[in-house]
Structure 1
Amino acid sequence: MTKNKHLYHLAVAGVLCAVGIVIPMFMPKVMLGPMTFTPASHVAIFLAMFISPAVAVAVSIGTTIGFFITTPAIVALRAASHLIFALLGAWYLSRHPETIEKPLSSIVFSFLVALCHAVAEVLVVTPFFVSGSLFSAAQLQNGFFASVVILVGLGTLIHSMIDYTISVLIWKPVKMVVRETRNT
């Protein structure tokens, strides 16, 4: 990669990190039991995935650092788990960029990335549930399946697919400018 491409990726990653940190600070949060969903909170990571694996990793790490500074540990650890789906998704898209353009392929890709995202977040939240920390007595009484698998797992799957769709809608008009810039 040329020096210009490195600089371009660094600048884009910085902007997307800022967006990824600012969105959760100002967007309304939907709270369901142990889960908090912030609309569009994954958009910066998805946009980074569309650009390159390196940008996806940088944005995932940058937003995680932002979350460690501004949110409780469980939220920051959930953000850290984004590195997994971002890297896998970006790697796949770097080899199959047409995926985003084909509606059926894009939906399948979105579902698979969201599934990876959900499993990672369930794995992060499970020790907190098992130890009883950060969960109320009522949430513990609801059980692991309702509190973690349904709220965290299924909730993350749906939230991820919605944010992916928002990202694709943003990406489609922006991609030509990004491609032109990347080729310089």
Structure 2
Amino acid sequence: MTKNKHLYHLALAGVLCAIGIVVPMFMPKIVLGPMSFTLASHVAIFLAMFISPAVAVAVCIGTTVGFFVTTPIIIALRAASHVVFAFLGAWYLRRHPETIEKPLSSMVFNVVIALIHAAAEVLVVTPFFVSGSLFSAEQLQNGFFTSVVLLVGLGTVIHSMIDYTISVLIWKPVSLAVQHTQKA
């Protein structure tokens, strides 16, 4: 990769980190105990994933730092877990860039990435549930399946799939504009 392309990717990562930190401040949020689901909070990560594995990891790290400063530890650790799905997704897309353009392939990719995303977040949240910290007595009474598997797991799958769809809708015109400016 040329020095200019490295610099370009660094600049994109910086902009996407900023977007990833700012979006949760302004978008609608659903908070259920220590869980929060913010519309479009993963869009910057998905856009980074569409660019490259290195940009995806950089944006995950950058947004995680922002979350550690502004949110409870459990949410920041959930943000840190995004490195897993973002890297794997970006790695796959690097080898199969046509995935985003084909509706069926994109949908299957979306589901797989959402499942990986949810599994990583469930793994992060599980020790907090087992220790009883950051969960209310009611959530603990609801049990692991309801509080962690359904709330965090299924909630993250749905949230991830919505944010991926938003990202693809944004990416298609943006990528065309980027390709056009790179050719000029």
Pick the TM interval, shorter chain: over 0.9
- CA change 1:30–1:112 in 2 (3 A) is same
Q: Does the CA-based 8 Å contact 1:57-1:83 persist in structure 2?
A: yes
- Distance in 2, matches of 1:68 and 1:182, equals 36
Question: Partners of 2:122 and 2:169 in 1: how far apart?
Answer: 28
Q: What letter matches 1:157 in structure 2?
A: V
2:28 counterpart of 1:35: no
Q: Which residue of 2 aligns with 1:73?
A: 73
Aligned to 2:5: 5
Q: 1:35 to 1:172 in 2, by over 3 A?
A: same
State the match for 2:144 in structure 1: 144
Q: 1:19 to 1:166 in 2, by over 3 A?
A: same
Alignment of 1:21-170 (within 5 A): 21-170=21-170
- TM-score, with length taken from structure 1: 0.97
Contact 2:35 2:75 in 1 (8 A): no
User: 2:181 & 2:55 partners in 1: Cα distance?
Assistant: 15
SS of the counterpart of 1:36?
strand
User: Aligned pair in 2 of structure 1 residues 8, 162: CA closer, same or farther (>3 Å)?
Assistant: same
Are the aligned partners of 1:33 and 1:151 in contact in 2 as well (CA < 8 Å)? no
Q: Secondary structure at the match of 2:39?
A: coil
- CA–CA separation in structure 2 for the residues paired with 1:132 and 1:80: 21
1:32: Cα distance to partner?
2.9
Give runs of ≥4 in structure 1 deviating > 6 Å.
Answer: none
CA distance in 2, matches of 1:57, 1:29: 24
The residue type paired with residue 149 of structure 1 is V
What amino acid maps onto 2:106 in structure 1? S
Moved more, 17-26 or 172-181: 172-181
Distance 1:60 1:183, change over 3 A: farther
Question: Which amino acid counterpart does residue 74 of structure 2 have in structure 1?
Answer: I
The corresponding residue for 1:175 is 175
Q: Which residue of 1 aligns with 2:18?
A: 18
One-letter amino acid of the structure 2 residue matched with residue 35 of structure 1: M
Q: What do you get for the CA RMSD once the two structures are aligned?
A: 1.2
Query: Please, which runs of 5 or more residues in structure 2 have no aligned partner?
Result: none
Partner amino acid for 2:103? P
Could you tell me how far apart the structure 2 residues matched to 1:145 and 1:12 are? Answer: 39
- How far residue 179 of structure 1 moved from its aligned partner, in angstroms, is 2.9
- CA offset digits 1:61-115 (Å, max 9, x no partner): 0000110111111000000000000000000001101000000000000000000
Q: Distance in 2 between matches of 1:148 and 1:80?
A: 18
TM-score, normalization by structure 2:
0.97
